[in-house]
Amino acid sequence: MIGGVVALFTLYSSLCTNIMPKYVAGLIKDIPSGTRKIVELAERSIGIFNVDGVFYALRNLCPHQGGPLCQGRQTGFLEAETPGDFVYTRHGEMLRCPWHGWQFDITTGRAWIDPERIRTRKYSVSVESGEGLAAEDIPSAAETYDVSIDQQYVVIDIP
Ligand code: FES
């Protein structure tokens, strides 16, 4: 354990390097493959999805009528080159809004119905070591969390 308590939902951007503010969203072990975690960061509700070991983060706000998009069901695609020849692809990469069923691509945040015009905000996600986080300057904190150097954390960039 590194020197005490560090922030979970913490802005730890280094002001001197001029990078986008980053927030620690939790331990990667708490978001195993096929699961999600919804967090409140920078006054926004954000859903973090682990799709086969790759993390994605989307705004938990449907552009249709403001539904809690990230609480929706995860699905894939059912495709057919010829009638009756179905293939299920992109397992877990589609998200269906729980209010009216609009579907979104988790990897892009874009709506299946009109991907060029309709989307929810997608955030950049990285995995960082506790050792690296402990070395960062932490100018503010909303909640506290023990950061361990032998753990890996999900970090989200929020402009
Ligand atoms: S609010 Fe999401 S589909 Fe209507």
pLDDT score at 1: 41
What are the φ/ψ torsions at residue 18 (nearest 5 degrees)? 60, 35
- Are 135 and 14 in contact by the 8 Å Cβ rule? The answer is no
pTM for the model stands at 0.82
Task: Write the DSSP string, 79-95.
Answer: EESSTT-EEEEEEEEEE
Residue 43 identity (one-letter amino acid): E
Taking the centre of ligand 1 as the mean of its atom positions, its distance from the CA of residue 70, in whole angstroms, is: 11
- Write the pLDDT tens digit of every residue in 42-60: 899 999 999 999 999 999 9
- Write the pLDDT tens digit of every residue in 99-128: 999 999 999 999 999 999 999 999 999 998
Atom of ligand 1 nearest to the CA of 100: 3
pLDDT score at 113: 94
What whole-number percentage of the chain has pLDDT above 90?
59
The domain in which residue 116 lies consists of 5-157
Best residue among 70, 102, 103 to mutate for probing ligand 1's pocket (most ligand atoms within 8 Å of CB) is 102
Q: Domains in the chain: how many in total? A: 1
Confidence of residue 141 (pLDDT cuts 50, 70, 90): very low
Residue 143 belongs to a domain with what CATH number? 2.102.10.10
pLDDT score at 133: 76
Enumerate residues 6+ apart whose C-beta is below 8 A from 27: 151, 152, 153, 154
